[in-house]
């Protein structure tokens, strides 16, 4: 994986840094694993705008990803590594020994032709999924379940990884990408290895139009609004806007929004770093 800096042939390419895509092996997705993706443009069922600054964007199909990895004990061969417009990570097309094909989130270092397997008793090798009870301590993992059988919900974006720190009784201690240390049931599944496309954070869009392709409309600065529209609006001339806060008045820097009475608080050993 690498990034390329473009020659500034046009103003939009002056600061553009693109993905090298050297890990991608094909640009043709598997048709049987595509689904339509309907856009809402930030509107609800009544057609009213409930989410601002959304809309437009390039038309795309959704790739159906197997987050559960519940085809246990059946070996699968990695047929190709592909780009997915719906996520930052690359995806891998698996072909199982019984002929079924599925997509999974590609781990960094996963190669075409490699064999992966899921389920208890699997070897702790890159791309293999297994319960936390089967993983050696210190293993770098990703695509982690929070409830057994739920499917992966944590550490799924480009370059993300967690680490299995300890195990005691029915709980495993996992250090998450945010820095939070949390208890997770040992029966929950995780995939060995960090998520692919770690260079995603080095990309630079180069121009505003590229944000429009991603479905993001221009965002109005709160200090440019009126007091009726935002807590930071109003004032004579170019007022600073006061303390940074959201449209609902929630402070933006350092304010803790997690509920003190949340049931899952007891599973958090150490909060994420500020």
Q: What is the pLDDT of residue 1?
A: 64
Average pLDDT over residues 116-134: 96
Asked whether residue 211 is assigned to any structural domain, the reply reads no
Q: Among 165, 183, 200, identify where a domain stops.
A: 200
230 and 196: one domain?
Answer: no
188 and 243: one domain?
Answer: no
80 and 114: one domain?
Answer: yes
Asked whether residue 271 is assigned to any structural domain, the reply reads no
Q: What is the pLDDT of residue 2?
A: 87
188 and 230: one domain?
Answer: no
Asked whether residue 206 is assigned to any structural domain, the reply reads no
Per-residue pLDDT tens over the stretch 208-249 = 999 999 999 999 999 999 999 999 999 999 899 899 999 999
Per mean pLDDT, which range of 29-33, 34-38, 212-216, 239-243 is the poorest? Answer: 239-243
The CATH number of the domain holding residue 238 is: 4.10.950.10
Q: Among 152, 184, 200, identify where a domain stops.
A: 200
CA atoms within 13 A on the CB side of 200: 16
165 and 241: one domain?
Answer: no
229 and 144: one domain?
Answer: no
Q: What is the pLDDT of residue 109?
A: 94
- Evaluate if residue 13 carries a pLDDT over 70: yes
Asked whether residue 210 is assigned to any structural domain, the reply reads no
196 and 243: one domain?
Answer: no
pLDDT confidence band for 268 (50 / 70 / 90):
very high
Asked whether residue 129 is assigned to any structural domain, the reply reads yes
Across the chain, what does the average pLDDT equal?
Answer: 95
pTM of the predicted protein model = 0.93
Average pLDDT over residues 189-195: 98
- Evaluate if residue 139 carries a pLDDT over 70: yes
54 and 108: one domain?
Answer: yes
The domain in which residue 16 lies consists of: 3-200
Per-residue pLDDT tens over the stretch 49-105 = 999 999 999 999 999 999 999 999 999 999 999 999 999 999 999 999 999 999 999
Asked whether residue 8 is assigned to any structural domain, the reply reads yes
The CATH number of the domain holding residue 11 is: 2.40.50.140
Per mean pLDDT, which range of 20-24, 43-47, 209-213 is the poorest? Answer: 20-24
Asked whether residue 274 is assigned to any structural domain, the reply reads no
- Evaluate if residue 146 carries a pLDDT over 70: yes
Asked whether residue 205 is assigned to any structural domain, the reply reads no
22 and 57: one domain?
Answer: yes
Domain count along the chain: 2
143 and 258: one domain?
Answer: no
- Evaluate if residue 274 carries a pLDDT over 70: no
CA distances to 84, 145, 203, 225 from 17, rounded to whole Å, are 19, 33, 5, 33
134 and 65: one domain?
Answer: yes
162 and 65: one domain?
Answer: yes
């Amino acid at each position: 994986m690498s990034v390329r800096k473009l020659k500034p042939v046009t103003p939009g390419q002056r600061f553009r840094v693109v993905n090298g895509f050297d890990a991608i092996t094909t640009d043709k997705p598997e048709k049987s694993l595509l689904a339509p993706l309907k856009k809402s443009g930030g509107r609800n069922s009544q057609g009213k705008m409930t989410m601002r600054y959304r809309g437009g964007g390039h038309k795309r199909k959704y790739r159906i990803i197997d987050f559960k990895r519940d085809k246990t004990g059946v070996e699968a061969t990695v047929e190709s590594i592909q780009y997915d417009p719906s996520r930052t990570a690359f995806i891998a097309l698996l072909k199982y020994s019984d002929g079924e094909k599925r997509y999974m989130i590609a781990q960094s270092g996963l190669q075409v032709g490699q064999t992966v397997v899921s389920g208890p008793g699997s070897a702790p090798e890159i791309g293999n999924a297994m319960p936390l009870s089967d993983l050696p301590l210190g293993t770098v993992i990703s695509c982690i379940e929070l409830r057994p059988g739920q499917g992966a919900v944590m550490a799924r974006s480009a370059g993300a990884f967690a680490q299995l720190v300890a195990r005691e009784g029915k709980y495993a201690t996992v250090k998450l990408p945010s820095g939070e240390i949390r208890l997770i049931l040992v029966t929950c599944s995780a995939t060995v290895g960090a998520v692919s496309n770690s260079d995603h954070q080095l990309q630079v869009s180069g121009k505003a139009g590229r944000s429009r392709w991603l479905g993001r409309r221009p965002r109005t600065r709160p200090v440019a609004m009126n007091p009726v529209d935002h807590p930071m609006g109003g004032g004579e001339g170019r007022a600073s806007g006061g303390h940074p806060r959201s449209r609902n008045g929630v402070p933006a820097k350092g304010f803790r929004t997690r509920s003190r009475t949340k049931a899952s608080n007891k599973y958090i050993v150490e909060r994420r770093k500020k």
